[in-house]
Amino acid sequence: MASRGFFSVILHAFVFATVVTLGFSQLSPNYYDYSCPNALRTIKSVVEAAVQKENRMGASLLRLHFHDCFVNGCDGSILLDSSPIIDSEKNARQNNQSARGFEVVDEIKQAVDAACGKPVVSCADILAVVARDSVVALGGPTWEVKLGRRDSTTASRAAAEANIPLPTLSLSELITSFRIHGLDEKDLVVLSGGHTIGFAHCATFRGHIYNDSNIDPNFAQYLQSICPQNGGDENLAPLDSTTANFDVAYYSNLVQKKALLHSDQELFNGGSTDALVKQYSYNTQAFFADFRNSMIKLGNIQPLTGHQGEIRVNCRKVNC
């Protein structure tokens, strides 16, 4: 029985790797070169305007792509509103009241379709590109986004709640959560670096600042002035000390025990990821290089390609 169980695990891993590889093999950075050569330029201009208007929007757009890919693959399912046949992922506890940027995606979709003359670019591809362009707009690295994803016709709130990591997870739980999606410990540390931009609600870090011991006491006291033990769930605090800049301050904060979230401080808490956090805290070049690679891996999680799914006319609902 034990050997049969081990074989089942190996088979599952092989099938997952095969699905990811086959999907990725059909993606190309030149996918829209002929059907809509102005697509990427159009997306970039809208993203830059949105981030310039509100720095927080860059973090929101990056988070949408991350949360989308962690549910049923990078298929744009997070953008679907609730309907009689859709239980929207927007209502999952990890997204409700915190996932933002949907209006910007709508604006991009309209602008791109106008530039293309018809709906050519998928909402899933838009999310992948805006994640990159948002990071660049805030001073971070760029990378080549392979395109050709198609949009899902379903969404699952239950799957979102089961797969998107919670801010209360331990290091071992985080490692498992990422491994399920084909991402390793290094990807975990690198992609968590996306928290160098943006804010979090009081409800997500209250437990850390009142109950955990692995936090700088002065930092905890400061955060307690923002986030009381009762009430104030929607109050915001920055995820790192330079929230408008994509840099390595996030990792420096972890080393100083000044992480906002419990799950972030778990990356530097005497465990297997400490050394990598310490390296990134003083080596921007290494972080940027590894962030590029991990974002490419993230965007490669089970994309719909070929004749799978559809190209949505409206990112918020499936085509009629």
- Is 75 marked as a binding-site residue? yes
- Is 243 marked as a binding-site residue? yes
- Is 18 marked as a binding-site residue? no
For residue 101, give both structure tokens: 């940027």
All domains in the chain, ordered by first residue: 28-166 (1.10.520.10), 171-296 (1.10.420.10)
- Is 89 marked as a binding-site residue? yes
- Is 262 marked as a binding-site residue? no
Query: pLDDT tens digits for the chain (320 residues)?
Result: 444 343 333 344 444 444 443 444 589 999 999 999 999 999 999 999 999 999 899 999 999 999 999 999 999 999 999 999 999 999 999 998 788 999 999 999 999 999 999 999 999 999 999 999 999 999 999 999 999 999 999 999 999 999 999 999 999 999 999 999 999 999 999 999 999 999 999 999 999 999 999 999 999 999 999 999 999 999 999 999 998 999 999 999 999 999 999 999 999 999 999 999 999 999 999 999 999 999 999 999 999 999 999 999 999 999 98
- Is 240 marked as a binding-site residue? yes
Question: Out of 67, 181, 208, 262, which one is annotated catalytic?
Answer: 67
- Is 136 marked as a binding-site residue? no
Cα dist. 37→17, 29, 59, 112 in Å?
Answer: 32, 12, 27, 10
**pTM, full prediction:** 0.90
12 is catalytic: no
